[in-house]
Amino acid sequence: MVSVEGKKYSCETCIKGHRASSCKHHDRPLFEIKKKGRPVTQCEHCRELRKTKQIHVKCLCDGKQDAAPQVDSDVTKPKKGSSRFFFSRVFRIKDAVSLRHVPQWFI
């Protein structure tokens, strides 16, 4: 396995054979080794909100830190026996209007 600027590379045969970490084939074409697990879909700001406020929202930032949705702190806790969280006005209304379909209970 070859490491260049923090990225790991291995040949295609070793990647397919699950031997990428022990690859010593420098004469073959090398491919970047992808990170394990699911790829990250949320930006750092939305991920931090999910961790601190216990809110799981879809990232609508489009890679812009200043366009991050504002989250209010009036999240109601679930009732006993209920397995879902009910949110009351999680986003500001102007942020919610940008969605294609806004349920009536959301506004």
Is there a domain that residue 55 lies in? no
Give pLDDT tens digits for 11-40.
Answer: 989 999 998 889 998 888 998 888 888 888
- Residue 97 falls within a domain, yes or no? no
Q: Tell whether 80 is covered by a domain.
A: no
Q: What is the number of structural domains in the chain?
A: 1
Beta bridge pairs of residue 4: 7
> Tens digits of per-residue pLDDT, 70-96?
544 444 444 554 444 444 334 444 454
For residue 6, give its domain range: 2-32
More confident residue, 72 or 41: 41
The answer on pLDDT for 69 being more than 70 is no
Within-domain flag for 17: yes
Give one DSSP letter per residue of the chain, joined into a string.
Answer: -EEETTEEEEEHHHHHTT-GGG----SSPEEEPPPSSSPP-S-HHHHHHHHHH--------TT-STTPPP--S-EEPPPTT--S-EESS-S-HHHHHTSS---GGG-
Does 41 reside within a domain? no
The reply to whether 105 falls in a domain is no
Quick check: is 7 in a domain?
A: yes
Average pLDDT, the chain: 69
Q: What are phi and psi of 6, to 5 degrees?
A: 85, -5
